[in-house]
Amino acid sequence: MTATALTHHIARLIEETGPIPLSHYMALALGHPDHGYYMTRDPLGAKGDFITAPEISQMFGELIGLWLAEQWLQQGTPKPFALAELGPGRGTLMSDLLRAIRSVPGMTDAAEVHFVETSPSLRDEQKARVPHATWHERIDTLPQLPLFLVANEFFDALPVTQYQRTERGWCERYVGLEGKRFIPVLAPVPLASDALLPAPMKNAAEGEIAEISPASTAIAEEIASRIASRRGAALFIDYGHPRSAPGDTLQAMKNHAYADPFDAPGTADITTHVDFEMLSRAVETGGAEAHGPVEQGAFLTALGIEGRKEALTRNATLSQRADIAKAAQRLTAPGEMGSLFKVLGITPRGSMLPAGFA
């Protein structure tokens, strides 16, 4: 095991208190105030560990902006309103989005930009691109205004809890120590009830794993209830599956390659696939309407990425044209981000079917 400051901290914790829940391990690896992965670096881009859609092309943020603008217009142009983003990374998506909505009369003036971001180094990046934003540690402090919100690759970074089906019942997976290595271990006592597992997971075979993210569910429900009571709309975009199903999707990325999530916590991005059925259910519980999920490729195509591509290409050099075409391809092609990534739309109940979700 590679020894990092966080390795020592977590190892000591386990020695003192026993194995820790996987969700706790994940929260420390990503969010420990001094040594957590997101707290210490800018993980995005070619030099980082992974790249995201807004970093691939400005077309992504522009199309999201136009989707939110259409919702804002349909809901009677509420002003003021909160234009919010969860986990804004470098602030690229929001700055592209803000440029796109400048063509919508009155929208920029009505928008108060709010970011929910825990990482100090990424907050600096965001401030450089969107200086007039207001920052929050958690969604609870977002203002009580109509809420137009986007979250791209945010839910995949939230902690998950895993249970394994054993002959004794469902046992929670913890992280323990074997010598100097972190390893998954099972809680000795099974769950008293499987009520908290989604129905499709309950019939899993022995040995299979059920993964849930109570943190994600709570956030989706809170956003939905704000949209239900004060109007607004949201897009959750992430990689994941449309239906709840058993399976261990925990993974780590370092330098654009897969890594071991239990080695050197704090130095790799640890994520899981987002369960969109669970998010949709949380949205319905919160009182709003969930649309989709649809695949990112189909969504961007329906919103007119071809037209955006042509508009950008008009004044471009030959090599810029090739870059723009390649970026559109990466965002939409099924073998690239087009089908693994999904989009969930959230509107107040009884709204017209939003663009991209037909």
Residues that bind ligand SAH (CB under 6 A): 30-31, 38, 44, 52, 54-55, 87-89, 93, 116-119, 122, 152-154, 157
Residue 178 Cβ vs ligand SAH, minimum distance, rounded to whole Å: 28
DSSP string, 313-352: HHT--HHHHHHHHHHHHHHH-IIIIITTEEEEEEE-TTPP
* Residue nearest ligand SAH by beta-carbon distance: 87
Residue 54 Cβ vs ligand SAH, minimum distance, rounded to whole Å: 5
Q: CA of 211: how far to CAs of 76, 186, 282, in Å?
A: 40, 14, 16
Closer to ligand SAH at the Cβ: 170 or 236? 236
Inter-axis angle of helices 92-101 and 120-129, nearest 10:
30
Closer to ligand SAH at the Cβ: 201 or 327? 327
Residue 133 Cβ vs ligand SAH, minimum distance, rounded to whole Å: 13
Q: CA of 214: how far to CAs of 28, 48, 162, 254, 275, in Å?
A: 16, 29, 11, 26, 11
Residue 202 Cβ vs ligand SAH, minimum distance, rounded to whole Å: 28
Residue 138 Cβ vs ligand SAH, minimum distance, rounded to whole Å: 7
Residue 25 Cβ vs ligand SAH, minimum distance, rounded to whole Å: 15
Closer to ligand SAH at the Cβ: 152 or 296? 152
Residue 12 Cβ vs ligand SAH, minimum distance, rounded to whole Å: 23
CA dist 211 and 201 (Å) reads 9
Closer to ligand SAH at the Cβ: 171 or 327? 327
Residue 176 Cβ vs ligand SAH, minimum distance, rounded to whole Å: 24
H/E stretch holding 136 reads strand 134-136
Residue 153 Cβ vs ligand SAH, minimum distance, rounded to whole Å: 4
Q: What is the DSSP letter of 159?
A: -
- 52 by Cβ neighbours in 10 Å (0-12 / 13-18 / 19+) ranks as buried
Closer to ligand SAH at the Cβ: 154 or 170? 154
Q: Of 308, 296, 309, give the one whose Cα is nearest residue 339.
A: 296
Q: What is the DSSP letter of 312?
A: H
Closer to ligand SAH at the Cβ: 52 or 57? 52
Residue 215 Cβ vs ligand SAH, minimum distance, rounded to whole Å: 7
Closer to ligand SAH at the Cβ: 62 or 117? 117
Closer to ligand SAH at the Cβ: 40 or 347? 40
Q: Are 178 and 39 in contact (CB under 8 A)?
A: no
Mention every residue, 6+ apart, whose C-beta is less than 8 A from residue 178.
Answer: none
Closer to ligand SAH at the Cβ: 118 or 161? 118
CA dist 154 and 238 (Å) reads 7
Mention every residue, 6+ apart, whose C-beta is less than 8 A from residue 255.
Answer: 49
DSSP string, 174-243: EEEEETTEEEEEE-SS--S--TTS-HHHHTPPTT-EEEE-HHHHHHHHHHHHHHHHH-EEEEEEEEEESS
Closer to ligand SAH at the Cβ: 37 or 170? 37
Amino acid at the residue 44: L
**Structure tokens that stand for 333 in this block:** 């092609």
